[in-house]
Amino acid sequence: MKTKTFIMLMFATLFSIAMSFSTSGQEESVAFDSKNKVFKLTPEVEKNIGLYSEECSFKEAELFKQNDSTYILEIHYLKDNKIYRERKNFTKLEVNNLRSKIDHLQVSNQASTEAMEGRGLLIASSLYTGLALYGPTLPIVFDKVSGTTQVGLYMLGAGAGFFVPFVFTLHNPISYGQANLAYYGNTRGLAQGALLSDILYSDKSTSKSVFLLGSLFSIGESIGGYELVKRLNVSNGQANLMTVYGDFGFFGGAAIANQLNLFNGNQSQGATSLILAGNIGGLIGGYFLGEGNSITAGDAEIISTTGWLGAYMPLGIINMIKPSKAWWYTTPSVLTGIAGAYIGHQLAKDYDFSFTQGYITKIGTLAGGLVGLGVTYMLVGNNNSDNGSAYLLGSYIGAQVSFLILNKININSLKSEKIGKFDFHLMPENFFLAKNFKSSNPREQDMFPLAKLTYKL
């Protein structure tokens, strides 16, 4: 009798293992987020999204895909000092809504953990602007004072670029996004002020009006960018994408103005208006493109690099034709630049590039362009006036090769951090959990596999 019981017990155990393999093979473990980073939901994440509202202690959760429309949410929780497991059916729409919440939470957490890293950049960029803009503006505005006073006014304006933001941010956390948009406002404000001066004063524009409006725009946009990030909860990546598209819009507006021949004659105000409109439109477009897409600061750097690479690509070929109209250069460059930015978005879709990775890729691409230009110059020399096309093509090839190499290195680095496709492990602890369920919840007793095999796409 004992022998028969032992044989039946062994058969039941083997059958349980076989069934667990069969079940695991039919269910694919999938991520909770769109970037395939979060495969287990922790209590810290769960409490922010309110996924499980039972009166018990949430432990962890996993998500499994049965087919294209059916998902299983498996929740482990603690109740009465016992661990229970609950499985819920989820539709594809419910999973998409859950992933949207997780993505938004990841962006918010990233901005929170990096909250203090931007203060140095903010103050340094303000000091730089003080030396280059605020300092020279005061002597120009007060041009009738003595030379000694003018020197003193310059030092006052330059030094204020450090001390004013230092005092006002002394007890405030500054994210990279806040510092980045403040820096953008500091540096681009001068150009926008100069453009506005051309619109308002036309031929009567003076250095005083240019520097005064440039300083006012610089200060106003710096404060505006700082407050915008805080009030709209703009992530670091979203802020960086706004600066990228702001510059795209700036030069895109100039290209359209050139296409319409507005830089010639008395139509410069129209060109100025288009450039300003392109700059503002780019900032707004970057905000909406980065919203809800989990764009990192490094992703924005990659998009910037591919966009400028795309815009640079046709110049060497067009220069061979020697077109008589300037728009022959700008129109293809704008179109290939848009294509380059799109490629950048596709590259960043599946990977969260760090800012360091993205920035090194950008400056490395520039360095590759310089190497390509240097090699071309040594090969073809400078005796022929038609060598411009060769220089442009050589520098583009060097930049493109450098980008491809650096991007491949980045992707390999990120791939090495991912979980392998095949995952197999034994779970002997489930034997004891099943024993506990035998008396308290016998229906759940057979839901604890002793082994698991998963495959992740």
**Are 275 and 254 within 8 A, CB to CB?**
yes
pLDDT at 454: 54
**Are 188 and 221 within 8 A, CB to CB?**
yes
CA atoms within 13 A on the CB side of 229: 33
Residues 6+ apart with CB under 8 A from 438: 445
- CA 191 and chain centroid, separation: 25
**Are 282 and 246 within 8 A, CB to CB?**
yes
**Number of residues that make up the chain:** 457
3-state SS of 125-172 is HHHHHHHHHHHHHHHHHCCCCCHHHHHHHHHHHHHHHHHHHHHHCCCC
Please count the helices (runs of H) and the strands (runs of E) in the chain: 16, 6
Beta-strand pair 70-79/451-455: unpaired
Burial (0-12, 13-18, 19+ Cβ within 10 Å), 245? buried
- Cα R_g (the chain), whole angstroms: 30
Residue 44: how many CB atoms within 10 A of its CB?
Answer: 9
Of the candidates 233, 255, 436, which has an alpha carbon nearest to the alpha carbon of residue 331? 255
CA distance 260 to 252: 12
Query: Quick one: tokens of 75?
Result: 């929740």
pLDDT of the chain along its 457 residues, tens only? 455 555 555 555 555 554 444 444 467 888 877 777 778 777 767 666 666 666 667 778 888 888 877 888 888 777 777 787 888 888 888 878 877 777 766 655 554 444 556 788 888 888 988 888 888 888 888 877 788 898 999 999 899 989 988 988 887 778 888 888 988 988 888 788 878 887 777 666 677 778 888 888 888 888 888 888 888 888 888 999 999 999 999 999 988 888 887 877 666 778 888 888 999 999 999 999 988 667 888 999 999 999 999 999 998 888 888 777 777 778 889 999 999 999 999 988 878 888 889 999 999 999 999 999 999 999 888 766 668 888 999 999 999 999 999 999 888 877 665 444 445 555 665 665 566 555 555 555 555 566 665 544 4
CA distance 222 to 313: 33
Q: Could you give the angle at which helices 236-259 and 92-113 cross, rounded to 10 degrees?
A: 100
Q: Could you give the angle at which helices 176-201 and 207-232 cross, rounded to 10 degrees?
A: 140
Q: Reduced to 3 states, what is the DSSP secondary structure of residue 69?
A: coil
Per DSSP, the residues of 403-457 read HHHHHHHHHHHHHTTSPPSEEEEE-THHHHHHHHHHHH-GGGGGG--SEEEEE--
CA atoms within 13 A on the CB side of 179: 23
Sign of the torsion formed by the C-alpha atoms of 283, 289, 295 and 301? negative
CA distance 440 to 443: 9
pLDDT at 243: 93
Of the candidates 138, 232, 132, 248, which has an alpha carbon nearest to the alpha carbon of residue 183? 132
**Are 128 and 159 within 8 A, CB to CB?**
no
Residues 6+ apart with CB under 8 A from 318: 328, 329, 332
CA distance 407 to 19: 44
pLDDT at 452: 61
Of the candidates 187, 142, 136, which has an alpha carbon nearest to the alpha carbon of residue 160? 136
